[in-house]
Structure 1
């Protein structure tokens, strides 16, 4: 019984998963920060893409 208790206390499998979770959380925070910082540039890029797609559709129909 003591061996099982000692093995339970020294088990490191859960610790690795916690580290992966922390790294994933840090990456997510970084991505959100970049998206917030570049919000206007991203919006302009999508607007240009929509305009180009819309313009291409009207030119083909003419």
Structure 2
């Protein structure tokens, strides 16, 4: 599902929103539409301590 992170320029809070088009969602805290999409980090799932592509024996 396309869940994106946004930041509100009015109240400076960050929030996540499920978005299906290119419109900026309203801030759930203050209702402002002056929001912008944040760069999200990728989540790492599983893998070993040395890295996801470490050779196995």
Q: TM-score, normalised by structure 1?
A: 0.20
Between Structure 1 and Structure 2, the one with more strand by share is: 2
| Structure number with higher relative contact order (C-alpha < 8 Å, ≥ 6 residues apart) | 2
Question: Which entry has the higher C-alpha Rg, 1 or 2?
Answer: 1
Between Structure 1 and Structure 2, the one with more helix by share is: 1
Q: TM-score, normalised by structure 2?
A: 0.21
